[in-house]
Amino acid sequence: MRKLAVLAVLGISFSIATGADRVDAPSITIMIECRGAVRQISVRTAPFKYNKDFAWSFTLDDGVASGALVAFPYFNGGRVAPSLKGEWGIDQGGDGQDYPGLFFTDGCGNKVPFRAAVAINGKSIGRSGFLSWGQVGTLYKAGWDVFNHGYAHATGNGVDVDFECRENNRIVREKGGITMRQFVVPGGAGETISEGPYTKAAFDQGMEAVHDGHVPGHVLLMDTALSLREMRAGRQFLFAGNIPDSAETYFREIRELLQAGKKPWFNAFTHGTGNDNLWRISLPFPDLKIFFGRLEKEYGQNGKDNVWFASFQEVQEYSLIRQSLVYSVRKKGNRIYIRIDTGKLPPGLRHRCQTFILDGGQAIERVSCTGGSVESFSKNAAGSKLVNWCF
Ligand SMILES: [Zn+2]
């Protein structure tokens, strides 16, 4: 009786209810094969990818070299550059040691490295002390994001904000093959004149978020009230002035929000991460290790494993997809079919992934996907099961 009812309901949204493997374009079908017959099953999307409890986004502003020399190998695993004094007389290197990387898991037994973003000025890239185009490409290929920080970091009166935003988009697309979707207002907390015009220009040019130190708060709560389009993001500034001294406060904030049952999304940034405190607005390597090493220890793979450390763009795009996801579920024997209507998905996104949570049913034997790909799935027999997929 129950099965008939399900098919009758699904019949409305399905153009065909027969031929389980047939897919009508445009659609994505995920086929989940379980160990035994599926009786009761509920499928829902996870608020954060991999069904984590909170998201933590980190951006390195101004495109300085230490992002690739120090932060990237420390987060991703690899050799951190040795001490390296550039033309400013500032040490943008680290300790020359190998690091294993910082990880959380995908909820299915696989490690995922902490991934951040760099906010760059196209005019500076390739200059001494800044990232090269090759380094920008390396970060991007590893899943980091690249944000628009204006072409020349121009601030104050009379800035041609439309040009700054457009020219940076153009050169980063031309030299790096990268389409930027996020804008970081240059100038930080000391700059208020060009902030409004920059914000307008960035949204006019299709940016999905504008990061701005004047926007109050650095924690968003992932719930239905959160508006995900044309987001204005406040930011927490991590630098030698507050790390490590304020780290305790920041960790308490995470703890309290989680204890209150919230789904917080933190947005933080710094500039350089080398041995020296570049321009006195950076997070020197020893402090970077203290803060992020602790974040991994408490909330990463060997801790509670409940952090999703991903760029603001990745989290926003996941959420945009989740918000517009239209899907239907059908079961047949030991199989579950989830059919996703791709016509409703937002276009132009880079991070096109989603996590389904399955409650009920048997252990999963196999998952395949038509029109997309399976990233991973959990094989546990009891409790909630995850299916991570991309398109
Ligand atoms: Zn800046």
Please check whether residue 81 lies inside any domain of the structure: yes
Gap from CA of 271 to ligand 1 centroid (Å): 8
Gap from CA of 150 to ligand 1 centroid (Å): 9
Domain boundary among 305, 328, 351: 305
For residues 22 and 116, state if they share a domain.
Answer: no
Gap from CA of 181 to ligand 1 centroid (Å): 17
Gap from CA of 128 to ligand 1 centroid (Å): 17
Q: HSE on the CB side for 150, CA within 13 Å?
A: 25
Reading the block at residue 60, the tokens are: 């390195």
Gap from CA of 188 to ligand 1 centroid (Å): 7
For residues 273 and 210, state if they share a domain.
Answer: yes
Gap from CA of 62 to ligand 1 centroid (Å): 5
Query: Residue 188: its pLDDT value, please?
Result: 76
Please check whether residue 84 lies inside any domain of the structure: yes
Gap from CA of 149 to ligand 1 centroid (Å): 7
Q: HSE on the CB side for 96, CA within 13 Å?
A: 4
Please check whether residue 313 lies inside any domain of the structure: no
Gap from CA of 354 to ligand 1 centroid (Å): 32
Which residues, chain by chain, have CB under 5 Å from ion ligand 1?
A: 61-62, 186
Gap from CA of 338 to ligand 1 centroid (Å): 44
For residues 168 and 228, state if they share a domain.
Answer: yes
Query: Residue 45: its pLDDT value, please?
Result: 98
Cβ contact 67:60 at 8 Å: yes
Q: HSE on the CB side for 59, CA within 13 Å?
A: 32
Gap from CA of 235 to ligand 1 centroid (Å): 13
Gap from CA of 75 to ligand 1 centroid (Å): 22
Phi and psi of 130, rounded to 5°? -110, 170
Gap from CA of 10 to ligand 1 centroid (Å): 52
For residues 108 and 241, state if they share a domain.
Answer: yes
Domain boundary among 278, 305, 332: 305
Gap from CA of 186 to ligand 1 centroid (Å): 5
Gap from CA of 248 to ligand 1 centroid (Å): 26
Query: Residue 8: its pLDDT value, please?
Result: 34
Amino acid at 354: Q
Query: Residue 10: its pLDDT value, please?
Result: 36
Rounded distance between C-alpha atoms, residue 267 and residue 219, angstroms: 6
Gap from CA of 79 to ligand 1 centroid (Å): 27
Total domains in the fold of the chain: 2
Query: Residue 1: its pLDDT value, please?
Result: 36
Cβ contact 62:283 at 8 Å: no
Gap from CA of 77 to ligand 1 centroid (Å): 26
Gap from CA of 15 to ligand 1 centroid (Å): 52
E strand spans, 117-156? 117-120, 145-148
Rounded distance between C-alpha atoms, residue 31 and residue 33, angstroms: 6
Strands 236-237, 264-270: pairing is parallel
Closest CA to 385 of 364, 366, 369: 364
Query: Residue 356: its pLDDT value, please?
Result: 98
Gap from CA of 254 to ligand 1 centroid (Å): 26
Query: Residue 5: its pLDDT value, please?
Result: 38
For residues 118 and 77, state if they share a domain.
Answer: yes
Query: pTM value?
Result: 0.93
Gap from CA of 45 to ligand 1 centroid (Å): 36
Please check whether residue 123 lies inside any domain of the structure: yes
Strands 41-45, 353-360: pairing is antiparallel
| pLDDT by 10-residue block (mean), the chain, 391 residues | 37 36 68 94 97 98 98 98 91 98 97 98 97 98 98 94 98 98 90 91 98 94 94 97 92 98 98 96 97 98 98 98 96 96 91 96 94 95 92 95
For residues 38 and 128, state if they share a domain.
Answer: no
Residue 6, strand partner residues:
none
For residues 191 and 71, state if they share a domain.
Answer: yes
Gap from CA of 58 to ligand 1 centroid (Å): 14
Gap from CA of 154 to ligand 1 centroid (Å): 9
Query: Residue 17: its pLDDT value, please?
Result: 36
For residues 265 and 286, state if they share a domain.
Answer: yes
Gap from CA of 161 to ligand 1 centroid (Å): 15
Rounded distance between C-alpha atoms, residue 274 and residue 288, angstroms: 9
CATH of the domain at 152: 3.20.20.370
Please check whether residue 216 lies inside any domain of the structure: yes
Phi and psi of 346, rounded to 5°? -65, 140
Phi and psi of 279, rounded to 5°? 55, 15
Domain limits at 384?
A: 2-49+318-390
Rounded distance between C-alpha atoms, residue 382 and residue 391, angstroms: 28
Please check whether residue 137 lies inside any domain of the structure: yes
Domain boundary among 252, 283, 305: 305
For residues 347 and 220, state if they share a domain.
Answer: no
Query: Residue 191: its pLDDT value, please?
Result: 80
Please check whether residue 372 lies inside any domain of the structure: yes
For residues 218 and 86, state if they share a domain.
Answer: yes
For residues 137 and 153, state if they share a domain.
Answer: yes
Please check whether residue 311 lies inside any domain of the structure: no
Per the rule left: phi > 0, alpha: psi between -120 and 50, beta: everything else, 3 is: alpha
Gap from CA of 63 to ligand 1 centroid (Å): 9
Gap from CA of 155 to ligand 1 centroid (Å): 10
For residues 350 and 368, state if they share a domain.
Answer: yes
Query: Residue 21: its pLDDT value, please?
Result: 43
